Structure 1
Amino acid sequence: MDRLQAMQVFTRVVDTNSFTRAAETLDMPRASVTTIIQNLEAFLGVRLMHRTTRRLSLTPDGAAYYERCVRILADVEETEMTFQDRNRKPHGKLRIDMPGSIGRAIVIPSLCEFHSRYPDIDLQLGLTDRPVDLLQEGVDCVVRVGALQDSSLVARRIGLFEGVSCASPAYLERHGTPQTLEDLENHRAVNYFSNRTGRVIDWAFLVGGKEVEIKLSSIVSVNDADAYVTCGVEGFGLIQPARYQVLPYLKSGELVEVLPDFKPLPMPISAVYPHSRHLSPKVRVFVDWIAEVFDRCPLLSGRGSLDKTCTKRTPEERESGTTFETPVVTEWVA
């Protein structure tokens, strides 16, 4: 049995959700497709899919095998492309995952620029705050906030998450405005809990060069960044979101900054992808592009200001910028 061909046939059946359509796109007899899938299941010793006259559905083993096949076939395609045509533009399917707030506010508004540069890349953009297993789920690259940990991955810092402590005017009118960190004991917050662990993430401040964590009580906790901000605007308690995310609310007065002398602990924003000696060209160009997008956004590049917005950089400015890649060494929190 040609295992590479079997993988190609299996993934095409899954993608088209039909043995007949898979056979047509592969220019093969339908009987051959059926035989290849049967032989593949016999070779693996598991059932990959449930088949009825109306529909196909993957078994848990089939879903796991599909994700691995997609990645293996993509690696084969990219390896062949490297040697076949070194001048060919990056192409193919590219699966990216990132927090919804970053995707909607920063990345999606600039996607036309990316598509203009790389029209042959089919971008699949997942917007989620949940942890993603890149290898198991066949994701090429994720954008995440905070420290990370996985020795099989590489993280490239592309920005800086600068938080701001704030609350609605209605909340401050009812409970007063905190002046010191000790005052927070008499306040409540909207708490944010981790999708991975379910643990509430404590507030963190940078005081005298050291991190200070504070637990706040709450009457509502969420695990979604947009819901987190909405709860703050509605007056459920103090919040500590990204400054870029609440900039319109701060300008309109729907949210008011508190404790301006006690800055939240900044966190790195990283593009994370599997460690490989030959980084996929499509992943490389995406990471380079998103790093450029973040670099021209003052609120995400460490040059934050309420009066600054994202701008395009000149070629000279892009050439003077620096980037770096480091092995992931600590646990990620977003």
Structure 2
Amino acid sequence: MSSMQQYLAFAQTARHGSFAAAARDLGTVPSALAKAVRRLERGLGVALFHRTTRQVRLTPDGERLFRRCERILGEIEALQAEASGAREALVGTLRIDAPVAYGQQVILPRLAQLQRTHPALGLDLRLNDAQIDLLRDGVDLAVRIGELKDSTLVARRIDWQGLVLCAAPAYLAERGTPRRLRDLDAHIAVAFRMPGSGRDRAWQFRQRGGIVTVAPPARTHVNETGGLLEAARLGLGLCQMPDYVAAASLARGELVELMAGLRPPPLPISLVYPGGRLIPARVRAAIEVLAQPT
């Protein structure tokens, strides 16, 4: 087998977890795949699989190589599809990382429509409020909220996130309604604990043309937006959260927005993806679908 065929043999075996299943998929025999993988291991100088009589399991080195192979083979599939005139038939698996609430409420419905249009397209949506390394984790696209740091990633803004200060009516009936920033000293907070740093996210407000940062005392700390919303609805304190997270509860009267005139400027929501490389057709299609106005 050629070098490329060795990588293909390795990737298919990793996907199926056995030489026999991979061989059926490729139309060959298990022994041929096993030999190709052994030659690849010798050439790389690492073990790619833990082998048993029934199955094979990736080693840490194998997992790293498999993530890179998946991306490269996906690009080859896209090239083959375009060369054969099948540009509209999206194939392969689209891997997207997104914050939990925005991923559930905005990203997933749009991807569902894309998949209905292209039944051969697979989806791997990873909901996570912490930022990941796209290349290390084998992700095609990621959704990032806030100003982006300089990097090798290409960014495309797709939306905006507002922040609203909310509380449950029962909490306000007991503790009173804050109307100015100094009133926050008499209240307790539900804080969002940022998954990446473990620190509480400070609240921000717009005042006199500038941004004021406030870190009120918190008795409750939550590291996921769904839990943040529920804690606020249960009356555990004041909470500043994304507008799309609070919208339905505000409309039903389960939460009340406070000091709306002091809302901070909205944060950009962007799609980011690796630059300087071929973008598979499925990734291009996802970018266009997700960048459509809400």
With normalisation by structure 1, the TM-score equals: 0.82
Counterpart in 1 of 2:221?
A: 221
Between the aligned partners of 1:29 and 1:251, the Cα distance in structure 2 is: 61
Question: Are 2:189 and 2:237, in contact at CA under 8 Å, matched by a contact in 1?
Answer: yes
Quick one: which amino acid aligns to residue 268 of structure 1?
A: P
Q: SS in structure 1 opposite 2:103?
A: helix
Q: SS in structure 1 opposite 2:205?
A: strand
**Post-superposition shift, 1:284?**
1.6
Between the aligned partners of 1:89 and 1:276, the Cα distance in structure 2 is: 24
Counterpart in 2 of 1:123?
A: 123
Change (3 A) 1:123 1:154: same
Between the aligned partners of 2:59 and 2:105, the Cα distance in structure 1 is: 37
Quick one: which amino acid aligns to residue 283 of structure 1?
A: V
**Post-superposition shift, 1:132?**
1.9
Between the aligned partners of 2:120 and 2:128, the Cα distance in structure 1 is: 25
Q: C-alpha deviations, 1:159-202, integer Å up to 9, x for none?
A: 00011110112222232211111221222211112222222211
Q: SS in structure 2 opposite 1:142?
A: strand
Q: C-alpha deviations, 1:122-162, integer Å up to 9, x for none?
A: 22222221222111111100112112225210111000001
Between the aligned partners of 1:232 and 1:244, the Cα distance in structure 2 is: 15
**Post-superposition shift, 1:223?**
1.3
Q: SS in structure 2 opposite 1:148?
A: coil
Counterpart in 1 of 2:265?
A: 265
Q: SS in structure 2 opposite 1:78?
A: helix
**Post-superposition shift, 1:64?**
0.8
Between the aligned partners of 2:131 and 2:265, the Cα distance in structure 1 is: 22
Quick one: which amino acid aligns to residue 15 of structure 1?
A: R
Question: Are 2:75 and 2:279, in contact at CA under 8 Å, matched by a contact in 1?
Answer: no
1:132-151 matches, cutoff 5 A: 132-151=132-151
Quick one: which amino acid aligns to residue 284 of structure 1?
A: R
User: For structure 1, which segment, 128-137 or 202-211, has the greater mean C-alpha deviation from structure 2 after superposition?
Assistant: 202-211
Counterpart in 2 of 1:98?
A: 98
Structure 2, unpaired ranges of 5+: none
Between the aligned partners of 1:243 and 1:264, the Cα distance in structure 2 is: 11
Between the aligned partners of 1:221 and 1:3, the Cα distance in structure 2 is: 52
User: For structure 1, which segment, 283-292 or 77-86, has the greater mean C-alpha deviation from structure 2 after superposition?
Assistant: 77-86
1:24-63 matches, cutoff 5 A: 24-63=24-63
The reply to whether residue 290 of structure 1 matches residue 290 of structure 2 is yes
**RMSD of the alignment, in Å?**
1.9
Question: Are 1:205 and 1:212, in contact at CA under 8 Å, matched by a contact in 2?
Answer: yes
Structure 1, unpaired ranges of 5+: 297-334
The number of equivalent residue pairs is: 294
**Post-superposition shift, 1:110?**
4.1
Quick one: which amino acid aligns to residue 184 of structure 1?
A: L
Runs of 4 or more consecutive aligned structure 1 residues displaced over 4 Å after TM superposition: none
The reply to whether residue 161 of structure 1 matches residue 161 of structure 2 is yes
User: For structure 1, which segment, 10-19 or 276-285, has the greater mean C-alpha deviation from structure 2 after superposition?
Assistant: 276-285
Change (3 A) 1:116 1:52: closer
**Post-superposition shift, 1:86?**
6.7
Counterpart in 1 of 2:254?
A: 254
Quick one: which amino acid aligns to residue 154 of structure 1?
A: V
Counterpart in 1 of 2:72?
A: 72
Question: In percent, how many aligned pairs have the same letter?
Answer: 37
**Post-superposition shift, 1:18?**
0.8
Between the aligned partners of 2:149 and 2:86, the Cα distance in structure 1 is: 34
**Post-superposition shift, 1:220?**
1.7
Counterpart in 2 of 1:303?
A: none
Change (3 A) 1:73 1:150: farther
User: For structure 1, which segment, 167-176 or 135-144, has the greater mean C-alpha deviation from structure 2 after superposition?
Assistant: 167-176
Counterpart in 1 of 2:190?
A: 190
